[in-house]
Chains A and B, each alone.
Chain A
Amino acid sequence: KAGVTQTPRYLIKTRGQQVTLSCSPISGHRSVSWYQQTPGQGLQFLFEYFSETQRNKGNFPGRFSGRQFSNSRSEMNVSTLELGDSALYLCASSSDRQSYNEQFFGPGTRLTVL
Chain B
Amino acid sequence: AQKITQTQPGMFVQEKEAVTLDCTYDTSDPSYGLFWYKQPSSGEMIFLIYQGSYDQQNATEGRYSLNFQKARKSANLVISASQLGDSAMYFCAMRGVTGGSYIPTFGRGTSLIVHP
Mark each residue of chain B from 93 to 107: 1 if its CB lies under 8 Å from any CB of chain A, else 0: 101000101111111
Mark each residue of chain A from 88 to 109: 1 if its CB lies under 8 Å from any CB of chain B, else 0: 1010100000001111111110
Give the Cβ gap from A76 to chain B, nearest Cβ, in Å. Answer: 16
Please, how many angstroms separate the alpha-carbon atoms of A106 and B104 in the complex? Answer: 17
A101-B50, A102-B50 as given contacts; A107 in contact with B103, CB under 8 Å:
no
CB <8 Å contact, A106 and B44: yes
Whether a CB of chain A sits under 8 angstroms from the CB of B84 is no
Residues of B within 8 A of A59 (CB): 99
Residues of A within 8 A of B42 (CB): 107
Give the Cβ gap from A86 to chain B, nearest Cβ, in Å. Answer: 15
Majority secondary structure, A binding face? strand
Interface residue count for B (Cβ, 8 Å)? 22
CB <8 Å contact, A108 and B103: no
Please, how many angstroms separate the alpha-carbon atoms of A57 and B104 in the complex? Answer: 10
Give the Cβ gap from A59 to chain B, nearest Cβ, in Å. Answer: 8
Q: Of B43, B101, B105, which is within 8 A of A88 by CB?
A: B43
Binds B, one of A19-27, A38-46, A63-71: A38-46
Give the Cβ gap from B30 to chain A, nearest Cβ, in Å. Answer: 15
CB <8 Å contact, B47 and A103: yes
Q: Which residues of B contact A (CB under 8 A)?
A: 33, 37, 42-47, 50, 91, 93, 95, 99, 101-109
Q: List 15 A-B contacts (CB under 8 A).
A: A42-B106, A43-B91, A45-B104, A48-B103, A56-B101, A56-B102, A57-B101, A59-B99, A100-B95, A101-B50, A102-B50, A105-B44, A105-B45, A105-B47, A107-B44
